[in-house]
A and B are shown apart, each in its own frame.
Chain A
Amino acid sequence: MDGEELTQQETELYDRQIRVWGVDAQRRLSKANVLVCGMTGTVAEFCKNIVLAGVGSVTLVDDGVVTEAALSANFLIPPDESVSKGRTLAELCCDSLLEFNSMVRVSVEKGDISSFGEDFFSKFDVVVISSSSLATKKLINEKCRRLLRRVAFYTVDCRDSCGEIFVDLQNYKYTKKKVDEAVEFELKYPSFEEAITTPWKRLPRRMARLYFAMRVIEKFEEAEGRKPGETSILDFPGVMKKRQELCEEESFNESQIPDYLLERLVVGTREFPPVCAVIGGILGQEVIKAISGKGDPLKNFFFFDAFDGKGIIEDISNPDAAS
């Protein structure tokens, strides 16, 4: 493909995974540049996965400092305060990630991601946003979509023992070998905004309830001017009211978004490490597929709830949205 061979070091280190996805895919990975914003426990898992896989570079954005919540779910953060004092989450995670694979360039970008221009995003092949407000998600997604190059966009959020991944690969063409011939596939992904404006009553009846619950919480946080995850049991009545509002707007039955689910998400804002591992793993796989062009990418939402153990893909696209 590129004509460059893998180095001996790469062949030796990546032997077992090359047996899974092949040499070409490995080459593509080594040239990919990934941007990650929001160093949550889940994102830490994701970064570990793609660094081990051998991507070209990973750029981390998170100027936050160490908190107890961060320490509880993120294994990249050293527990020793004398080490972590005065350093941002991105800087601490960067140091740890560099140890996993010397062939991957891991670095930090300071600042508020919403203020970065399109030029900045054009340097990347993949952008992953976590723990960001609804407004930020839409904004970054739009910036990525306006670029000439196709930049894959993902959001990932875990609350309590649930997780949600959103995927936007825009217009994505890939080939698959069926028996002896190579068949071309094309998928058209909606943006985050297009997807979530899909009228609720148009969605299939048996759908992951977590989707609706997350939208309610999202809207609540936006209306109240809260940072993502900044809720507590005291907000439960407010969240229920928001549910009522939204369900009225959408002519949607409130019982489809059960109280106990909303309560879990409102109260349990801290991540649950086993779910971080599951979601970080699924996201890692998806990004590897998108970079390598190999394998069916998921379209376009993934939900996991440890309570029932199901990992579900939902295809949510607005038929009314202008294409």
Chain B
Amino acid sequence: MDSPPPLSAIKDAKVLMVGAGGIGCELLKTLALSGFPDIHIIDMDTIEVSNLNRQFLFRQKHVGQSKAKVAREAVLRFRPNISITPYHANVKDPDFNVDFFKQFSVVLNGLDNLDARRHVNRLCLAADVPLVESGTTGFLGQVTVHLKGKTECYECQPKPAPKSYPVCTITSTPSKFVHCIVWAKDLLFAKLFGDKAQDNDLNVRSGNASTSDHTEDVFERRKDEDIEEYGRRIYDHVFGYNIEVALANEETWKNRSKPRPIYSKDVLPERLIKQNGNMDSASATDNPSSVSAMASLGMKNPQEIWSLMENSKIFLEALKLFFGKRGKEVGNLSFDKDDQLAVEFVTSAANIRASSFGISLHSLFESKGIAGNIVHAVATTNAIIAGLIVIEAIKVLQKDARSYRMTYCLEHPSKKMLLMPVEPYEPNKSCYVCSETPLSLEINTHRSTLREFVDKIVKAKLGMNLPLIMHGSALLYEVGDDLEEDMVTNYAANLEKVLSELPSPVTSGTLLTVEDLQQELTCNISIKHRSLTLCLCLCLCLCLSLSLSLSVHRDVWWWDFC
């Protein structure tokens, strides 16, 4: 049998892979086997143990090393003669500009976040390079193809934004376990162990504007305060006192079942610490990362759903261990799903709150998944998707436009199909990314600052990374390394001003131009002033700018409160 020559379209191709994780490992392997001679790969991450169940190019000994570099080494072992160029970097880095992207015949994404995907989409449009996008979760996956002017771009159909919850639901009226997790993680954990200077809604309460000074002291540990007493004091304050205060407001509970206050003396009448003060349950030379309340209390099963009492023990023990063993970190900590003690604390706190509100309790394993936004993943789906990506990539290289397909990998067959190909759609004429459609924004120009506009609209909503904002010929704001000092000061001052009070005032009828030079994206936004509408929800809470949901209705947006 003669060996067929490699497809000529492949042998001259230079491809860029973005992502060397679950999809990336499978993709790099399949590209190499398929005869691709020149592959570049960008990934900013390092290898973790939880990757090893599917990112098969990595071994235990590689934990901590760059994914892009290790992936390359592993593949060269079975294809020593191909060229693989790894970049241990963030694809949003300005080095990866339009000229960088222009050198590739096709770009293949194996990313796990919307932000980076949008950024790459824009660079590919600017460079006019075809993009093959993909994603997997559990048994589901899809591969899509994007060619400028010929098919939809990645952003032609708006992608759902990550779920967020109204502040009042989190602080006062949780109804689902996830609300309790968000409370435990973003409020209680942050308050006790995070940056004290940060605003925190932990004590925001309905109608009570004068949350008096004494609450400032509640969360601070008093000098030489016994650790267990401190723990119980916090416990009683958040699970007992705060609930009693909330209950006092009858309106809130008219149509909701009332929570019950929980006090530590009722759940744990006896003190946990038998001896005084000493951390004698573990040695003084404990590795901070192995400190664990579960281990300390002899609880081994992360799948077990603990009782209220067990959760309370974990709560107090975790708090004690943070202050006792990791005291230096207190005040600087942010929640990390791989921080065992943090996960234990958040799980127990969420469970106690859930117990109070009649919401079902969850195991540490489940809680970690929710708090850490963990995506469940298996090797097989990634392998299937990688195969499909290469098939589309080859079609793109052969410029066989009629054969391009969006392919969906289903868990349950549809019309006998587990793999369902669909023809790509034409570009959306109202897509502001690929079709230069002007946008309108209704906003309160007397209340919203330029900072809010930049952070919430330009960066979060429009997905720009390094924006530039102009009103006519006046530069209101820009980001860059080469700015002169007085410009920087000027911009800093502008950020704090409300729109209508900017040097070049932004009011109803103003047309703003917003650009990201790296993404080569320009958006023209027509501003319309709209007064705040106070939404008095049942709990009578004034939810300020912390909770916002922005709706995209064609190209018009408006602020919704609460």
Query: Which residues of A are interface residues toward B (Cβ below 8 A)?
Result: 5, 11-21, 23, 41, 45, 48-49, 52-54, 68-69, 72-73, 75-79, 99-100, 161, 232, 268-270, 272-278, 280-282, 284-285, 288, 295-296, 298, 302, 304, 306, 308-314
Q: Which residues B364-385 have CB closer than 8 A to chain A?
A: 365, 369, 374-384
Q: Would you give 14 A-B contacts (Cβ < 8 Å), ordered by A?
A: A13-B49, A16-B376, A49-B380, A73-B33, A273-B387, A274-B386, A281-B379, A281-B380, A282-B384, A284-B379, A309-B419, A312-B418, A313-B413, A313-B418
Distance (Å) between the CB of A300 and the closest chain B CB?
12
Contact stretch, chosen from B53-61, B94-102, B113-121, B316-324: B53-61
Q: Are B419 and A274 in touch, CB under 8 angstroms?
A: no
Residues of A within 8 Å of B56, CB to CB, are 48, 52, 100
Distance (Å) between the CB of B108 and the closest chain A CB?
12
Closest-by-CB residue of A relative to B412 is: A296
Closest-by-CB residue of B relative to A102 is: B60
Contact stretch, chosen from B76-84, B488-496, B497-505, B531-539: B76-84
Q: Are B376 and A20 in touch, CB under 8 angstroms?
A: yes
CA distance A274 to B265 in the complex (A): 63
CA distance A113 to B227 in the complex (A): 68
Query: Is B3 located at the chain interface by the 8 A CB criterion?
Result: yes
Q: Are A53 and B421 in touch, CB under 8 angstroms?
A: no
Q: Are B383 and A284 in touch, CB under 8 angstroms?
A: yes
Contact for B374 among A16, A284, A285, CB less than 8 A = A16
Q: Are A232 and B387 in touch, CB under 8 angstroms?
A: no
Q: Are B53 and A14 in touch, CB under 8 angstroms?
A: yes
Query: Is B29 located at the chain interface by the 8 A CB criterion?
Result: yes
Residues of A within 8 Å of B34, CB to CB, are 272-274
CA distance A13 to B386 in the complex (A): 22
Contact for A274 among B303, B388, B412, CB less than 8 A = B388
Residues of A within 8 Å of B1, CB to CB, are 69, 232, 269-270
Query: Which residues of B are interface residues toward A (Cβ below 8 A)?
Result: 1, 3-4, 26, 29-30, 32-34, 49-50, 52-54, 56, 59, 77-80, 138-139, 300-303, 365, 369, 374-384, 386-388, 390-391, 394, 405, 407, 409, 411-413, 416-421
Residues of A within 8 Å of B378, CB to CB, are 16-17, 20-21, 53
Distance (Å) between the CB of B77 and the closest chain A CB?
7
Among B29, B376, B380, B407, find the residue whose CB has the most chain A CB atoms closer than 10 A.
Answer: B380
Residues of A within 8 Å of B376, CB to CB, are 16-17, 19-20
CA distance A312 to B414 in the complex (A): 9
Among B80, B300, B387, B413, find the residue whose CB has the most chain A CB atoms closer than 10 A.
Answer: B387
Q: Are B380 and A311 in touch, CB under 8 angstroms?
A: no
Among B49, B375, B391, find the residue whose CB has the most chain A CB atoms closer than 10 A.
Answer: B391
Known: A20-B139, A281-B387. 15 other contacts (CB 8 A): A17-B54, A19-B376, A20-B376, A20-B378, A53-B378, A54-B53, A72-B3, A77-B78, A78-B77, A284-B380, A309-B388, A309-B405, A310-B419, A311-B420, A314-B416
Q: Are B383 and A310 in touch, CB under 8 angstroms?
A: no
Among A15, A21, A23, A275, find the residue whose CB has the most chain B CB atoms closer than 10 A.
Answer: A15
Residues of A within 8 Å of B413, CB to CB, are 298, 313
- For the complex of A and B, list the 5 residue pairs with the smallest distance between their C-beta atoms, beginning with the closest: A311-B419, A277-B387, A19-B376, A309-B421, A281-B384
Q: Are A308 and B421 in touch, CB under 8 angstroms?
A: yes
CA distance A45 to B419 in the complex (A): 18
Q: With A13-B49, A79-B78 as known contacts, state yes or no: A306 contacts B379, CB within 8 Å.
A: no
Distance (Å) between the CB of B287 and the closest chain A CB?
16
Residues of A within 8 Å of B405, CB to CB, are 309
Q: Are A273 and B33 in touch, CB under 8 angstroms?
A: yes
Distance (Å) between the CB of B396 and the closest chain A CB?
13
Q: Are A12 and B387 in touch, CB under 8 angstroms?
A: no
CA distance A178 to B375 in the complex (A): 24
Distance (Å) between the CB of A4 and the closest chain B CB?
12
CA distance A53 to B379 in the complex (A): 8
CA distance A157 to B394 in the complex (A): 22
Contact for A17 among B79, B377, B421, CB less than 8 A = B377
Residues of A within 8 Å of B78, CB to CB, are 75-79
Among A41, A77, A285, A309, find the residue whose CB has the most chain B CB atoms closer than 10 A.
Answer: A309
Q: Are A278 and B384 in touch, CB under 8 angstroms?
A: yes
CA distance A72 to B78 in the complex (A): 10
CA distance A315 to B1 in the complex (A): 34
Contact for B49 among A12, A288, A296, CB less than 8 A = A12
Q: With A17-B54, A52-B53, A274-B388 as known contacts, state yes or no: A11 contacts B302, CB within 8 Å.
A: yes
Residues of A within 8 Å of B80, CB to CB, are 79
Residues of A within 8 Å of B394, CB to CB, are 274
Among B26, B30, B394, find the residue whose CB has the most chain A CB atoms closer than 10 A.
Answer: B30
CA distance A48 to B74 in the complex (A): 14
Q: Are B417 and A311 in touch, CB under 8 angstroms?
A: yes
Distance (Å) between the CB of B132 and the closest chain A CB?
12
Closest-by-CB residue of A relative to B300 is: A5
CA distance A298 to B411 in the complex (A): 11
Distance (Å) between the CB of A31 and the closest chain B CB?
18
Q: Are A274 and B30 in touch, CB under 8 angstroms?
A: yes
Residues of B within 8 Å of A41, CB to CB, are 33
CA distance A286 to B416 in the complex (A): 16
CA distance A54 to B52 in the complex (A): 11
Contact for B383 among A18, A272, A280, CB less than 8 A = A280
Residues of B within 8 Å of A73, CB to CB, are 33
Closest-by-CB residue of A relative to B51 is: A16
CA distance A157 to B412 in the complex (A): 23
Closest-by-CB residue of A relative to B409 is: A311
CA distance A277 to B419 in the complex (A): 13
Q: With A11-B302, A49-B379 as known contacts, state yes or no: A278 contacts B388, CB within 8 Å.
A: yes
Residues of A within 8 Å of B139, CB to CB, are 20, 285
Residues of B within 8 Å of A273, CB to CB, are 30, 33-34, 387, 390
Distance (Å) between the CB of B115 and the closest chain A CB?
21
Contact for A312 among B3, B52, B303, B416, CB less than 8 A = B416
CA distance A78 to B49 in the complex (A): 26
Q: Are A312 and B417 in touch, CB under 8 angstroms?
A: yes
Residues of A within 8 Å of B417, CB to CB, are 310-313
Residues of B within 8 Å of A278, CB to CB, are 383-384, 387-388, 419
CA distance A241 to B394 in the complex (A): 34
Residues of A within 8 Å of B33, CB to CB, are 41, 72-73, 75, 273, 276
Q: Are B49 and A270 in touch, CB under 8 angstroms?
A: no
Closest-by-CB residue of B relative to A68 is: B3
Q: Are A23 and B384 in touch, CB under 8 angstroms?
A: no
Q: Are B379 and A52 in touch, CB under 8 angstroms?
A: yes
Distance (Å) between the CB of A70 and the closest chain B CB?
12
CA distance A268 to B26 in the complex (A): 24
Closest-by-CB residue of A relative to B81 is: A79
Q: Are A310 and B420 in touch, CB under 8 angstroms?
A: yes
Q: Are B383 and A19 in touch, CB under 8 angstroms?
A: no
Q: Are B383 and A274 in touch, CB under 8 angstroms?
A: no
Residues of A within 8 Å of B388, CB to CB, are 274, 278, 309
Residues of B within 8 Å of A52, CB to CB, are 53-54, 56, 379
Residues of B within 8 Å of A100, CB to CB, are 56
Residues of B within 8 Å of A308, CB to CB, are 421
CA distance A288 to B54 in the complex (A): 14
CA distance A314 to B416 in the complex (A): 7
Q: With A282-B384, A312-B416, A312-B417 as known contacts, state yes or no: A274 contacts B391, CB within 8 Å.
A: yes
Among A17, A72, A281, A314, find the residue whose CB has the most chain B CB atoms closer than 10 A.
Answer: A281
Distance (Å) between the CB of A219 and the closest chain B CB?
21
Contact for B53 among A15, A269, A274, CB less than 8 A = A15
Q: Are A79 and B79 in touch, CB under 8 angstroms?
A: yes
Residues of A within 8 Å of B382, CB to CB, are 281
